[in-house]
Structure 1
């Protein structure tokens, strides 16, 4: 099944983007080729760009605190394991403290690294990182793999607390939704959302054998999903077939 996730607000949209970037960075750092490490650095610059929002750190801290209060309200409930509850709240506290201890903007120290900033200004130019433009970077690419990996680990370390906090928040959000099997009749599903619940994420799973791509549009009142089929020229056209899929709404 192919999983599609659609955020209901800009905050969750940013979290999803960050998680994708952190996953890519983690995979690229573990590889040995200098080209993989080049793309690890370009991914790091993307993370810096997304993380530059002044309110991001505050948003994550507020969400961690909100989740802690929510789960503290379950204390005394006989259906809830106190041990599991304590463990989860401890995780939230740990991530809150680690993130809260970071001074200033996340990754601010990297902007003081002349080597990285020279590279960052050139990667946006097609072919801008050639050896005649950045000889120091060309030399770095010829360092031993272990040396390059160590540098990448050091440069990405300031984002560790943010990565872990975002991962936990998204995990908890995803677990809040219950999957249900639905049908897009004649290729379309339109569903009104219940009042009084602030949904934050829609998750959709579809069988790749169907050859269908969903187009999703959501707001606090309505979900609209159109099923599209890709033609040989790459153009997506709406299908009129009945299409089964799984969907969950996470609040």
Structure 2
């Protein structure tokens, strides 16, 4: 983002969070402090774009979901996710005029593939309703012709072949998106208990970042 569109980029990630954590008014039930709520960041930074990249955590980790999990209450989970997306979009657009939201479509979930379809449908509906943008980053980490099929390895792209660290298995022309012991995260270093930037070059992260940057670049003129 910084290199291609010369953007000033700010991120506020917190482990285990979902949409409701970034809503103002959630108080102690949120894993995100008040200063880093989405609307608070928008009021402070006045960005042109806000990128919302949420996997849709479904296992009850964050207290703001009130114990609603996908495996036990699928319809309630979907309805809650949709309601929170609408509220979050409203808080962001109400915080500053002219800010556009980029909704990032998610990649495959090997455990509950239909869940990601439903999460992505929420993001697509929100983008249509509010004039937001869609970045299909999930497609970049899915097999060709199998958008919702999870894969640990995919064929190296031309960029990855030209930049050797990103093509992890050059002999077979394939690259790793996930570690053997972690089907969820794209960082190829072990997950830590405290958030940190990924310390190693990781093709999955690069693919997602490039997909988002493509959308912002096209929309920023």
TM-score, with structure 2 as normaliser = 0.25
TM-score, with structure 1 as normaliser = 0.23
Q: Which has the higher contact order (CA 8 A, sep 6+)?
A: 1
Greater helix content? 1
Q: Which has the larger radius of gyration?
A: 1
Greater strand content? 1
